[in-house]
Structure 1
């Protein structure tokens, strides 16, 4: 039974404490001085008097709002957006738009597919990455042909993207998504047959899997669900012949590395380390691509 405000409370009765309105699994005895909602140490923002919740600081609600209150930040140091899933929705929208255009004009997708070197099969793009079409490493991340393929990837993006976007902030989340996808494309270019075609957001999705596992460990959450889901995906990855496992592994490794930097970087050098690690992974992608290209030309 909930305890009424002001009623006696035993110091050892942890169950009587309210929970943070943004993190229901965390007990807290701190409330926002403006709206009086319970907030945990991660959410509370120092003000001239007491602490405030991120929404009150962002909206400046209430008379006498403290101008000295600091800007609320996510766990990784990003700003807290009004819609924590906005970027996830945009990425899903881009993937769906490309898919729909491809259904109307199938040749459109042919020129987005990751191909190492001409002649590609079964696609009809005129040139591959080895001929200088490096943009295919990026465009292939948004191209799908089968309805089951895009359906599975977009469900995964919605399930993983929202919590990660809220925890990292939009810019960091976008960096994680794009760099993980490029890492998956680069490993596919290096290890797959040059004339084979590869497409799909799976590399970026597996990057989100890796970062989610790191985040859950950082928050001391139960990791069994994400590990079980990852194992199931890896079984499908290596159990089906028409799946580019290289993209999955490349994205997963990049996601773990970038995710660790995002949530474990010390506050005083947080941005430098986070974006520095993203830059290092990008350099690795470029070096891998250059080496593979030298072997194919």
Structure 2
């Protein structure tokens, strides 16, 4: 490899390459591999990187980064729910032990095939075919979130995923992706808290509806914040109440998710511009801590 003749400009990143092209911004010589298209001519990689730092990202009204595709996060959440459902279908459908491990239930129990036995762990594990399924009281804390990604019946997952696809992009559009996910998870925790507090100890609760009710509450709070006509939600709210009182449906999960989602949305949309992100993170963290702490306190007093 030979060096370029003396006096011939060379690329600032590749000194062995001569070039007569210069960056339109800093006038530095750049070779074809380092050329970056600009509005006029070309720029060097350094100027392009510097320019990106100086350009502020577009923000939503509540401080989040505007999502280029507001439906992407909802599709991801739907994908997780569908993958869990497929795993349940493949491992026994209604008899799948995976459901018992992922569903939310306060008390532990012994599962022997399709039978649920209320007995001690020692007696359960003495059986050859029985399996001890831990509940929240036995340290199965993962259930406070996994239950919101678990479904068994096809109609259940279809209804919830349709609702998530309808509401999710709307909420992400005005909150931004990170705040949308945070609110969704906080609503799921609120749903778990209410289920633990008000449902039977051996009741297995599954489904994303608690988190989805949180999205509904967030839509209401955001509409109220901008002074929109809340009467447009009348039919949706009536339908939500009717669904919640249907036998077999967890009204506790729906109520807990709705309240937690509404509180989380209130924190996000009412946070002052000064230190907005700090206030939002602290507020959502407090709601999550109340939900988890409430469960822990009830467990300690049981």
TM-score normalised to structure 1 length: 0.74
Task: Tell me, in whole angstroms, the C-alpha distance in 2 between the residues paired with 1:146 and 1:226.
Answer: 28
- RMSD (Å), alpha carbons: 2.3
Matched, 1:193 2:183: no
User: Residue by residue, what CA displacement relative to the aligned partner does 1:210-251 show, whole Å, maximum 9, x if unpaired?
Assistant: 00001112233332232320221112212x121111111111
Partner of 1:250: 256
Cα distance between partner residues in 1 of 2:99 and 2:249: 17
Contact map agreement 2:189 2:292 (CA 8 A) in 1: no
Deviation at 1:257, TM superposition (A): 0.9
- 2: CA distance, partners of 1:103 / 1:61: 53
| Counterpart residue number, 2:209 | 202
Deviation readout 1:261-286 (Å, 9 max, x if unpaired): 11121111211121111111111112
SS of aligned partner of 1:74: coil
C-alpha separation between the residues in 2 aligned to 1:281 and 1:248? 17
| 1:68-107 alignment, distance < 5 Å | 69-105=55-91, 106-107=96-97
Secondary structure, aligned partner of 1:197: coil
Deviation of 1:293 (Å) = 1.0
CA contact (8 A) 2:216 2:258 kept: yes
Change (3 A) 1:274 1:63: farther
Pairing 1:1-297 to 2, within 5 Å after superposition: 62-63=39-40, 69-105=55-91, 106-119=96-109, 126-238=133-245, 240-296=246-302
Change beyond 3 A, Cα 1:125–1:94: farther
- 269-278 vs 199-208, greater mean Cα deviation: 269-278
SS of the residue corresponding to residue 114 of structure 1 reads coil
Q: Give unpaired runs (5+ residues) of structure 1.
A: 1-59
- C-alpha displacement of 1:149: 1.0
Query: What SS does structure 1 have at the residue aligned with 2:201?
Result: coil
Where in structure 1 do 4 or more consecutive aligned residues deviate above 3 Å?
A: 60-65, 120-125
What does the per-residue CA deviation read over 1:187-224, in whole Å, with 9 as the maximum and x for residues that have no partner? 10111111111111111001001000011122333322
Q: Find the aligned partners of 1:236 and 1:111 in 2 and give their Cα distance.
A: 26
Is the contact between residue 180 and residue 203 of structure 1 (CA under 8 Å) also seen in structure 2? yes
Q: Shift of the alpha carbon at 1:113?
A: 0.8
Q: Please give the alpha-carbon distance, in whole angstroms, between the structure 2 residues aligned to 1:139 and 1:219.
A: 34
Deviation for aligned residue 1:110: 2.1
Q: How far apart, CA to CA, are the structure 2 residues paired with 1:85 and 1:223?
A: 24
Secondary structure of residue in 1 paired with 2:229: coil
Distance in 2, Cα, partners of 1:140 & 1:233: 20
Deviation (angstroms), 1:141: 0.7
Rounded Cα–Cα distance in structure 1 between residues aligned with 2:85 and 2:293: 31
Rg larger in structure: 2
Q: Does the 8 Å CA contact 2:100/2:133 hold for their aligned counterparts? A: no
